[in-house]
Chain A
């Protein structure tokens, strides 16, 4: 059974169609890239996955169950979410930010602390140096590493990435992309990853879903993307 499945999903708001006729399935362990221009509805698709939005038509299934049937809180706690602006809590230390979801889930203090130290190591931020700092004391790349650590904290089976590296300088972005691949290899998480960067899509994805005008034009294996046929994919390839 796929971990996430979109069945004929439309999303409309205020009379405007953002997504229409969306169908795709995400298999356990893969990274599905949603590639598209700004305003193509990619971020909306992520929000439909974790129940921040609900489809106007069709169904989104997570673990085979419609997002409407899930307890909204339980669904979100099962899904890690990383956004471009990171959204770390400015009044929490790094450790409190990272330990947030486990604490919400009722983990005991020492277990949370252990998990935080473990995660900081995973994202390459030595706990001794960083755990008591505040987000404003970190660089953009460091902040995004903390954002990833926070999303991984309660060990969710599914991760959503909304242009997580879009605001970083090219060198830092490349380093984090490399890290992403190594995390992916170590933890075999399932991810849906939104980007408008075709290089990033081909580097990180297992498959790429090409979005254009609120529709999926084609879904193709990432390493086969240079042979993609849709007009939107051609437009993206031309930009390389």
Chain B
């Protein structure tokens, strides 16, 4: 019994991490570039930030409901979960990218332009390095939230640590609930520390 539980914890933690990591990778790959586009194109800015904010307001279970009937990205299982986790993670990353770049001292950006930097040089050599800290802070917030939100994946057969929690709630078994909640909280804390460390490590000067 004991070893069974331990094995389950390891397996479901693995699943949980897979869900979170997949969603985060997609969210970063899309959120950072979209945030950059928002700083470059005032016309696109409202749409990009607006859409991401709207996503954030949809209750997660409702989002599952909307996604399940959609072909390719929907259905029962991990895929739907990853898509919705990604949609939630998008806003903090996108917004912090935007804010981080726009928050660079205008005198610094202006002198970069005045010295004849191309827009790409301004972005890569000046704005992104100076915005790194803010962007990473967005990724950190998104990761920690996603680890928590991912527990509801079990509701639509997505697996992960939520399996324990749903099972425990259904059978009024505190041990099961804790077997899901404690590793999940532990993962969130680890991610928080790890990313905070990275933030300090990578932030310039």
- Known contacts A83-B107, A87-B108; decide if A136 and B114 are in contact (CB<8 Å): no
Known: A76-B114, A101-B115. A87 touches B205 (CB 8 A): no
Q: How many residues of A contact B (CB 8 A)?
A: 23
Residues of B near A88 (CB, < 8 A) are 108, 111
B126 contacts across to A, CB distance below 8 A: 89
CB contact list, B93-146 vs A, under 8 A = 105, 107-108, 110-118, 121, 125-126, 129-130
B111 touching A81 by the CB < 8 A rule?
A: yes
Which residues, 101 to 139 on A, are CB-close (under 8 Å) to B?
Answer: 101, 104, 134, 136
Does A1 make an interface contact (CB < 8 A)? no
Give the contacts of A68-86 with B (CB-CB under 8 A): 73-77, 79, 81, 83, 85-86
Check A52–B113 contact: CB distance below 8 A: yes
A73 to chain B: closest CB distance in Å?
Answer: 5
> Which residues of chain B are near A136, meaning CB under 8 Å?
205
Determine which of A73, A83, A100, A104 lies in contact with B110 in the assembled complex, contact meaning CB atoms within 8 Å: A83
Query: How far, in whole Å, are A90 and B115 apart by their CA atoms in the complex?
Result: 16
A185 CB-CB contact with B under 8 Å: no
Where chain B touches its partner, the secondary structure class is helix
Give the one of A76, A89, A90 with max B CB within 10 A. Answer: A89
For residue B116, which residues in chain A have a CB less than 8 angstroms away from its CB? 73-77, 101, 104
Interface residues of B, count at CB 8 A: 19
B204 at the interface (CB under 8 A from A): yes
Q: What residues of B have a CB within 8 angstroms of the CB of A79 in the complex? A: 114
Do residues B115 and A76 form an inter-chain contact, with CB atoms below 8 A?
yes
Q: Chain B residue with minimal CB distance to A147?
A: B111
**In the bound complex, what is the Cα–Cα distance between A231 and B204 (angstroms)?**
50
Find the residue from A77, A87, A136 having the highest chain B CB count within 10 A.
A87
Q: For B121, list chain A residues within 8 Å (CB).
A: 104
A195 at the interface (CB under 8 A from B): no
Contacts of B110 in A (CB 8 A): 52, 83, 87
Residues B115 and A104 in contact, CB atoms below 8 Å apart? yes
> Can you list 21 A-B pairs, Cβ within 8 angstroms, ordered by A?
A52-B113, A52-B114, A76-B114, A79-B114, A81-B114, A83-B107, A83-B114, A85-B105, A86-B107, A87-B105, A87-B108, A88-B111, A89-B112, A90-B105, A90-B130, A90-B204, A91-B130, A91-B205, A101-B116, A134-B205, A136-B205
Residues in B lying within 8 Å of A, measured CB to CB: 105, 107-108, 110-118, 121, 125-126, 129-130, 204-205
Beyond A83-B111, A88-B111, A90-B205, 9 additional contacts (C-beta under 8 Å) are A76-B113, A76-B116, A77-B115, A86-B111, A87-B110, A91-B205, A101-B115, A104-B116, A104-B117
